[in-house]
A and B are shown apart, each in its own frame.
Chain A
Amino acid sequence: MEVITTAAGADSRGAKSAGAAPFLAAPVPASDEEFAELVDTLVADPNRHDQLTDLLRENHPWYNERGTATVAQMRGWVLLGFARTGVSDHALLFVLEELDTGIDPYLVATAACALRSYAKPNPALAPFVMRALAQNRYRDDPVSFLAYADYSLGPEATSPVRELLLTLAWLGPHARTVLPELEATVKSGGLSKKALVEAHRTLEAIRGSEEEPDCCKLPDGLISKFSWAAKARRSSESIASTVFEDQDGAGITFNEFFQGRPSIVVFFYTRCDNPLKCSLTVTKLARVQKLLESRNLAEQIQTAAITYDPAFDVAERIRRYGEKRSVRMDASHRMLRATNGIDSLRQHFKLGVNFVESLVNRHRLEVYVLDRNGRVAASFERLHWDEQEVVDRAIEVLAERKKPARIATPMMGTLASIAIAFFPKCPVCWAAYLSLLGVTGLIQVPYSPWLQPILAVLMIANIASVWLRGRATGRMIGPYLVTLGALIILASRINSSSLKLAALGIVLTLAGSLLGVFTVQKSSAHLNF
């Protein structure tokens, strides 16, 4: 598949999507009939076919708060729309996605049907169709294309296996690469009588033609992988303070985990009932970790699996999910849930997911490579991704020139507290300090009382940041110490002969700041079940 790489500032996915058309700006259809009519309207107007493609994006607002079955119905009807308009290069990715990882009989059948309206058969399409046949042969349920949300089972009823066989027949000689697999399927005796008739016709169509197929290349417009040059990457500032809980119940912010080293990030949720999506994704993540280990990169490139369903996927649940799939879990490799919700992550990563209440109703496969600043450097979307390819991309990101890190250190505030403690009260003391520091030989520095309020503001800022961190992680000892330290320093200013008091204040401030810096384990009373 083609990889889009951009050095430009724009998000390449946005620039490439459907002629940059916005989501269909019509009110959400109130009923099934209205939705079907709207799709038919788009199908009938060649100038609006791009909007039809947009309807296949998971995060389209029309899918908000719709159940999974309804979403499947809606998407299937759109795919059938493509069967009438013809599948564009841009829409092809969505059709192939359904064949690659779909297990819903209606969606697989409609995708197979839609593919036959693509401009030209192509050998590169055959593996997708054959894979769908292998994955769905035991779910060959009857489906109807007659009308929207129709379940009639008359002679016009079809099925995913039937539609896939028809599509292989359409591919004809272009499906020769999968001929052995199809022959084996037919010989296995697993197909129904009706499907066998269709299968023999398909075999003839593939074997029969003398035409030599073109080489296996997918169209240029098919993009499932994206790569961004450093200058084009979106800042992760908007989610810097997003707080996660990992599989052990430890709290950590986005910046604390993702800053400093490149990361490979996958998304999943434990209630996903498609084994070809989340379960396989997390299993493959474990394989990615093994690849990193084999190249001694497991400490230089970290990995994370983030759940789409943070309210349900509590720490214990995600830990067991990862354990069952042999995922390595330690300080550099974590299963995460966002404790303050998924919305900010959804916006930042432009996640391909939608929800009915808190439950996922549909999502795509998505894997991201983040750079050492937590910015998205690459993404692999919709189609099965190759573990080695993802690792290779992460290694490229690792090799990128390190930028000087802007380390926001809470110690600056601590230094301000120290400076406050010892700030001279008068010009004489000021001179005494300067002589102590050996600077009286230089141009005399005038007494600068204006510095004191600035130092005070810095000290307050330090206290505030430690409090925020403490509230986020649930560990309040840091904020208490810093506050007590600041109060003691202020008290020492009042009592002029209280150097010991000032020193105590400084020690407490320093201790509190240090405790606020490090992530601590939150004690958890989660049950084992």
Chain B
Amino acid sequence: MTTKKRASKKAAKAPKGMSALAALSVATNAKKTTAERVSALAQAPEAVMKSDENLQKLCDVVKNTDEPVEVRLEAINALATAAFAVATFEPYRNDYIATLQEVAVDPNQEIRESALGLLASEKNKFAQKKLLDGLKNPAKALVPPEKALQLLSYDVHTEAYAVARDIISNSPNELAKQEAMRLLAADPNSTKLFEKLLRDKDETREVRQVAASALNSLAPQKLQEHAREMLLDDSEYEDIQATSLSAVKQFGDDEEVAKDKALLKSVNRLSADAKSSKYKKSAKDFLAMVAEKEEK
């Protein structure tokens, strides 16, 4: 269980309903219990925007490595909540970003992830550099590669495509591979890569699903072609065929599909022979839909 989840569990039992300033006072009081402080922090964002001093108190909690991690994480959340009101938060943004940049290299991974996540959502160049450096040199990594890739995908303009391709070829883990693929879903030059991954039966389901989704975005016609071929391929997995069926059903050209005897024959076979009743039903529904459209 992550620190955040433990904190939420504890906080549920703490009292609520205090004023924002009182909440801030509890939140920044080291003598209070973690649970009390975490609960109070949920009501603190409003207090942050009342003065510079209030903001600094919360920032100090975030930066203080002696504070409990749960409290620091909730303090980051409180700041992020306050920052959402862009106009009102304007006077405090500079210090807020500075605080996040400072704790982006914190000894605690959850703190780093939280800070880098918020910075990445702002397309902060410092965060992007740190994340990329970590992917290119694992010794410098501040977060796991899959997390780094996920955060870098918030901004298409990062130089992450090359490193994402490297990770797909030599992935440290399956999650990282999928995140690298998601990042490349915005890269038209990766169409062929996604076609290859989609058709590779040795790839996991998840990888093939991500490839299909990316192809749908980059080259929808290609996805239709592959979906059709996979439906015609008797050696293809049923669940992949069912996904292909969905793609053809939702995005295919109805007229072309109705004329495609070979395709309809394959779907018919799926409706009869599929091991899963769910896939059988999908196939039958598809055939019914085609028949209905033909009647019209």
Contact = CB atoms under 8 A, between A and B. Distances in A.
B102 A357 contact: no
- Residues of A contacting B: mostly: loop
Contacts of A356: 157, 159, 161
A192 B159 contact: no
A140 B157 contact: no
Interface stretch (B16-24, B27-35, B181-189): B181-189
Contacts of B188: 311-312, 358
B87 A190 contact: yes
Contact of A357 (B90, B161, B217, B251): B161
B215 to A, nearest CB: 11
B101 interface: yes
Contacts of A192: 52, 90-95
Nearest to A191: B91
B216 to A, nearest CB: 7
A67 B159 contact: yes
B189 A142 contact: no
B289 interface: no
A529 B157 CA distance: 22
Contacts of B124: 141
B206 interface: no
A157 B90 CA distance: 18
A525 B94 contact: no
B125 A73 contact: yes
A138 B156 contact: no
Given A140-B93, A141-B97, A527 B216 contact: yes
Given A142-B101, A311-B188, A526-B220, A69 B128 contact: yes
Contacts of B221: 525-526
Contacts of A138: 86-87, 90, 93
A151 B93 contact: no
Interface string A177-219: 0000000000001111111000000000000000000000000
A193 B91 contact: yes
- Residues of B contacting A: mostly: helix
Interface string A297-318: 0000000000000011000000
A183 B93 CA distance: 21
A359 B91 contact: no
A273 interface: yes
Contacts of B97: 141-142
Contacts of B216: 527, 529
B237 interface: no
Contacts of B46: none
A347 B87 CA distance: 43
A325 interface: no
A309 B28 CA distance: 50
A190 B161 contact: no
Contacts of A311: 188-189
A140 B216 CA distance: 38
B143 to A, nearest CB: 17
A358 B187 contact: yes
A137 interface: yes
A95 to B, nearest CB: 20
Nearest to B256: A525
B129 A191 contact: no
B90 A271 contact: no
Contacts of A141: 93-94, 97, 122, 124
Contacts of B193: none
B101 A151 contact: yes
A82 interface: no
A312 B160 CA distance: 17
Contact of A68 (B95, B157, B161, B220): B157
Interface in B30-89: 52, 86-87
A69 B90 contact: no
Q: Which of B102, B156, B188 has most chain A Cβ within 10 Å?
A: B188
B94 A312 contact: no
Nearest to B93: A140
A161 B97 CA distance: 14
B77 to A, nearest CB: 20
A356 B52 CA distance: 41
B155 interface: yes
Interface of A: 66-70, 72-73, 104, 106, 137-142, 149, 151, 153, 157, 159, 161, 189-195, 271, 273, 311-312, 356-361, 525-527, 529
19 contacts: A69-B128, A69-B157, A73-B125, A106-B125, A140-B94, A141-B122, A149-B129, A151-B129, A190-B87, A191-B90, A194-B94, A195-B91, A273-B156, A273-B157, A312-B186, A357-B162, A357-B187, A357-B189, A526-B220
10 closest Cβ pairs, A-B complex: A67-B159, A311-B188, A68-B157, A190-B90, A527-B220, A192-B91, A69-B125, A151-B126, A142-B98, A141-B97
Interface of B: 52, 86-87, 90-95, 97-98, 101-102, 122-126, 128-129, 155-162, 186-189, 216-218, 220-221, 224, 251, 253
